[in-house]
Amino acid sequence: MATKRTIEVELSTSGLTKEGRPQRVPLVTKGTLGGDTGVALAEPPSLELEGEHMLINIGPQHPATHGVLRLVLELDGETVVRCIPHVGYLHCGFEKIGEYRQYNQIIPWTDREDYLNSIGNNVAFALGAERLFGIEITERCKVLRVIAMELSRIASHLVWLGTTCIDIGAFTPFLWSFQERENIYNMLEGWVGARLTTSATRVGGMAADIPDKWLEGLRGFISTFPKTIYECDRMLTRNAIWVGRTIGLGVMSPDEALNYGLSGPMLRASGVAYDVRKDFPYLDYETYDFDVPVGTNGDVYDRYLVRVEELRQSVRILEQAVNRLPDGPVNVDDPRVILPPKHKATSEMESMIHHFKNVMEGPRPPAGECYVAVESPKGEKGYYFVSDGTSKPARWRIRPPSFVNLSAISKMVEGHLLSDVIAINASIDIVMGEIDR
């Protein structure tokens, strides 16, 4: 008959250090293995390990780097001693091309740099060009542009949420957020004809007015979207794994954050309440009633909370915008910039000449320069135009928020573990198209 033997294992301490981490202790068995032998297992490893630092390379092709980013990490075991980011793997010469295109022809390029916020970029570009030209847009156009910007803010934050969850290990919110993005895509496709790269604005107005019944679709979205936010929130915000993976990582104090030029949710999570919509407003944002969430700790968890709250605030702005949309023309009535309607262009001589000049030569602004910044989902997005009076800009500069935000990564990951690098990188919300242009 086999006797049942048990081995009792006694731990010499409670098992947790004072920070709450598991403590490594030797296990001593109470010797029932054929006698009172008291088998002691191996010595615990000493805390001071001799060794060399390891240089590892993440990217440029790697699913967790949100595009073609290359990080060279110098590791001491699993702890990052130094991080050297390499960018430029998506550099496509946007600013150079901008010097060879008329103002309205540059708009498709603005879609493709920050491709998650394409209609927002279109609006930002149009605002800058209109300041340069000295044009005031119509009221209807302003409200439509606010709707466009907030929809694209929601769309961009949804991608951020989905990809961050995948990086940290949760796959389901990715599917939920992309399903909501499909709803936004349907609306954008109904309005401008394209899902992702919209090219929706023109200098002086929009490419097209919203079709009939579009607002009902938007109202439907506004009523169903908060439920998705609630579901994601419920799944993640008080989830022990999520909190454990994100609390305390990548902390930036407010002074450091300002000095590094961070903007957007990165800066607000660090405790600086700077939002371009509130501080340097455009499109009458001061007349909308919304809050700007500001974090307190500057870590990855706070950035997550800030962005989820921004989703809710965007829905709030959308409700107000939908209710106040005035009737009237979308495009400004200025034949020097706006193409005439087709039936006039083919029948009246004057309209035909305007059409010809606008298409072949393009509208010409007065000489000067202008910098207009908007609050993109990534941060302060600015377009700087220098015009010499011709129809193509002498210099078109994109101020990329993700570029400046990413430069702080070497500071943020020092001392963290390798898997934290991925989480911190995800929290910056980078878009390589914007970084490399």
Which segment (205-213, 350-358, 380-388, 412-420) binds other proteins by CB under 8 A? 380-388
Instruction: Decide: is 97 part of the binding site for other proteins (CB under 8 A).
Output: yes
Query: How far, in Å, CA of 99 to CA of 64, rounded?
Result: 34
Q: Which residues contact 185 (CB under 8 A, 6 or more apart)?
A: 195, 196
Contact map string, positions 144 to 183, toward other proteins, x by CB under 8 A: ---------------x--------------xx--xx-xx-
Contact map string, positions 338 to 367, toward other proteins, x by CB under 8 A: -----------------------xx---x-
Query: How far, in Å, CA of 168 to CA of 18, rounded?
Result: 26
If the CB atoms of residues 74 and 233 are measured against other proteins, the closer one turns out to be 74
Considering only residues 208 to 267 of the shown chain, the ones binding other proteins according to CB under 8 A are 247-248, 251, 253-254, 256, 258-262
Q: Which of 109, 221, 242, 304 binds other proteins (CB under 8 A)?
A: 109
If the CB atoms of residues 93 and 211 are measured against other proteins, the closer one turns out to be 93
HEC sequence for 193-204: CCCCCCCCEECC
Q: Which of 9, 41, 92, 359 binds other proteins (CB under 8 A)?
A: 92
77's tokens: 């075991």
Which segment (3-11, 49-57, 230-238, 421-429) binds other proteins by CB under 8 A? 49-57
Which segment (202-210, 237-245, 279-287, 311-319) binds other proteins by CB under 8 A? 279-287
Considering only residues 66 to 85 of the shown chain, the ones binding other proteins according to CB under 8 A are 67-68, 72, 74, 82, 84
**One-letter identity of residue 180:** E
Q: For the purposes of burial, counting CB atoms within 10 Å of the CB of 5, is it exposed (0-12), middle (13-18) or buried (19 or more)?
A: exposed
Q: Which of 282, 321, 332, 412 binds other proteins (CB under 8 A)?
A: 282
If the CB atoms of residues 87 and 123 are measured against other proteins, the closer one turns out to be 87
Q: Which of 26, 38, 77, 88 binds other proteins (CB under 8 A)?
A: 88
If the CB atoms of residues 216 and 284 are measured against other proteins, the closer one turns out to be 284
Triad 225, 227, 228: Cα angle to 5°:
70
396's tokens: 């078109």
Find out whether 265 and 306 touch, Cβ atoms under 8 Å. Answer: yes
Query: How far, in Å, CA of 66 to CA of 428, rounded?
Result: 10
Binding footprint of other proteins, residue count (CB under 8 A): 110
Which segment (5-13, 28-36, 189-197, 308-316) binds other proteins by CB under 8 A? 189-197
Do β-strands 70-76 and 79-86 pair in parallel, antiparallel, or remain unpaired?
Answer: antiparallel
Sign of dihedral through CA atoms 280, 284, 286, 290? negative
CB-CB neighbours of 247 under 10 Å: 13
Triad 135, 141, 145: Cα angle to 5°:
110
DSSP code of residue 22: B
If the CB atoms of residues 153 and 181 are measured against other proteins, the closer one turns out to be 181
If the CB atoms of residues 291 and 348 are measured against other proteins, the closer one turns out to be 291
In 3D, which of 375, 293, 291, 289 has the Cα closest to residue 324? 289
If the CB atoms of residues 276 and 318 are measured against other proteins, the closer one turns out to be 276
Q: Which of 290, 407, 414, 417 binds other proteins (CB under 8 A)?
A: 407
Do β-strands 205-206 and 70-76 pair in parallel, antiparallel, or remain unpaired?
Answer: unpaired
Instruction: Decide: is 30 part of the binding site for other proteins (CB under 8 A).
Output: no
Q: Which residues contact 14 (CB under 8 A, 6 or more apart)?
A: none
Contact map string, positions 301 to 340, toward other proteins, x by CB under 8 A: ----------------------------------------
Write out the DSSP string of 75-96. Answer: EETTEEEEEEEE--TT---HHH
Which segment (310-318, 330-338, 397-405, 414-422) binds other proteins by CB under 8 A? 397-405
Coil, helix or strand at residue 331: coil
Instruction: Decide: is 388 part of the binding site for other proteins (CB under 8 A).
Output: yes
Considering only residues 117 to 146 of the shown chain, the ones binding other proteins according to CB under 8 A are 118, 131-132, 134, 136
If the CB atoms of residues 215 and 388 are measured against other proteins, the closer one turns out to be 388
CB-CB neighbours of 47 under 10 Å: 6
If the CB atoms of residues 9 and 273 are measured against other proteins, the closer one turns out to be 273
* Residue 39 CB, nearest approach to other proteins (Å): 39
Sign of dihedral through CA atoms 300, 428, 273, 224? negative
